Amino acid sequence: MSGDRRRRGRVETGLERDLHERSDIPAAERSALRAQAHAVDIAEANRDSDAIARANAVYLTLRDAAGLSAGGAKPVDSIDALLASILDADTGGSDTAHEP
């Protein structure tokens, strides 16, 4: 049934490029991202501004949860950030007294 293939929209095509570079995202999460990207594309094709806003909000939430932030970088985990700040030699206090 190769005739059943549909053409991907703008958002779905962009997502595919992002997913191509990320092998750490599980199949179920990829499917959810693809389905929501398709929902954004449908809303855009129908020129329905309310549907675009709703679909896009969910899509961006799913992208963020998958570590696909707008800049293409994985968001920093808060625990990792805390540990990095504790272990950073340039920050934090010292056990020696500071004299004016």
pTM of the model: 0.65
Nearest-CA neighbor of 15 among 1, 5, 29, 4?
A: 29
For residue 25, is it within any domain? yes
Domain count, the chain: 1
pLDDT for the residue 86: 73
Domain span including residue 77:
7-87
Residue 24 has, within 13 A of its CA and on its CB side, a CA count of 5
Is 12 in contact with 36 (CB distance < 8 Å)?
Answer: no
For residue 61, is it within any domain? yes
pLDDT for the residue 1: 46
Give CA separation, 44 vs 10, 11, 40, 64, 78, in Å.
Answer: 9, 10, 6, 21, 35
The list of the chain residues with pLDDT below 70 reads: 1-4, 70-83, 88-100
- The amino acid at residue 46 is N
